[in-house]
Amino acid sequence: MSKSIRVDDDTHAALAALKGDDETFDELLSRLVRERRETIRAGAGLWSGTDAAERAREAREQMKRDVGGR
């Protein structure tokens, strides 16, 4: 079963520029979704075994305190 989605002209042009010559729009969108998932998986666990996540949380909390105190 196929579905239709509406996109504006700028979005269509951007997608067409990314589409391979022998690739359908369906194949393009599937490829983009697959590449995004692979990118997310590649980054998963990147901070494992480090204190980077805790330092990022602390920096975020400090920024919230700084903004809230003004």
Q: What is the pLDDT of residues 22-49, one digit of tens each?
A: 999 999 999 999 999 999 888 888 888 8
Question: What phi and psi values does residue 29 have, to the nearest 5 degrees?
Answer: -65, -40
Q: Is the pLDDT at 14 greater than 70, yes or no?
A: yes
Quick one: pLDDT band at residue 70, thresholds 50, 70, 90?
low
Alpha carbon of residue 42 to chain centroid? 12
Tell which phi-psi region holds residue 5, choosing left (phi > 0), alpha (psi between -120 and 50) or beta: beta
CB 25 within 8 A of CB 19: yes
Q: What is the pTM of this model?
A: 0.62
- Which position has the higher pLDDT, 1 or 3? 3
Task: Report the SS3 class of residue 60.
Answer: helix
